[in-house]
Amino acid sequence: MIWLKDTAGFVRKLIRFLRDSELQLLASSMAFISVLSLVPLLTVSLYVFQQLGGFEESMSQLRPLIFNYFAEGIGNEAVSKLEQLVDRLRGGSISFWGSIALFIASLKLLNDMEMAVQKIWGNSKLRPIWQRAVYYTLIITLGPILAAVLLGLLSWKKLMFTQILPDKTLVLALAWLALFLLIRYLPKCQVKSKAALIASAFTALALFVMQIFYLKITKSLFMYDKIYGSLATLPVFLIWIYVNWTLFLFGHALCASLQQYWADD
């Protein structure tokens, strides 16, 4: 029964992390901020991706993956508007100051995300502002490049496993990699790779399962159309964002709990 005792000890640490960090409050705050800043971040990232030479084939794969994921949360009509915004930015239809505003809004979301993560890890001080600006810019610029390289590798026809595994495996692989990098390097402290791998794998799988249940629930909530009319997607969208942030922050709490549990052993 030693394993049961060890499991109980780990669960207690995890609960303490969740309580001390006020995870639900952080997730609620991030959900509200995302309503204002998520679209600018996505727009700027996709714009950077489209400006990269030699990644046209990867872009044709990544863009549908991203928009399909968001379509499940905010609806096809909203995603269509988002695609138009990306195309306008690429075509130069948006003014210089408009582009700057989009970039600043993107940095704001990343900054608030880091503040939430540091609170979960118990780090009272943030990195210097210049260092944060560099990190956020790298996330916006190098993130699309990393996704392009991974997509190119996974879609390589000579890799037989890409023809055997289900289509959703590609989405899971991208999510796992992105979550691992964010959990491993975003906190302002030393994070063990083993803990980050476990936490990111759990979080990616949880997000995948959540998306399946979310689709089933939204399809059954036909009454929202009669009550809210054209605003029917708004309450469901807010819930979708909140759950995504809750799982993301829970992944950090899980990683921190694992790391502390192993350190105390």
Burial of 125 (0-12, 13-18, 19+ CB in 10 A): exposed
- Please give the pLDDT value at position 104: 78
Q: Pseudo-torsion of CA 30, 33, 39, 42, nearest 10°? A: -40
Q: How far apart are CA 25 and CA 19, in angstroms?
A: 10
- Please give the pLDDT value at position 228: 58
- Please give the pLDDT value at position 88: 64
Q: How many Cβ atoms are within 10 Å of 216's Cβ, its own excluded?
A: 10
CB 236 within 8 A of CB 221: yes
CB 210 within 8 A of CB 182: no
Question: pLDDT below 70 — which residues of the chain?
Answer: 1-9, 35-36, 38-99, 143-168, 170, 215, 217-236, 264-265
- Please give the pLDDT value at position 150: 58
**Residue that the structure tokens 């829970």 belong to:** 250
Rounded to a whole number of angstroms, the distance between the first and last alpha carbons of the chain is: 17
Evaluated on CA atoms 232, 175, 207, 217, the torsion sign reads positive
Residue spans of the domains in the chain: they are: 2-264
CB 227 within 8 A of CB 5: no
CB 263 within 8 A of CB 189: no
Q: How far apart are CA 37 and CA 30, in angstroms?
A: 10
In this structure, the chain runs to a length of 265
- Please give the pLDDT value at position 3: 46
Residue 189 DSSP symbol:
S
- Please give the pLDDT value at position 202: 93
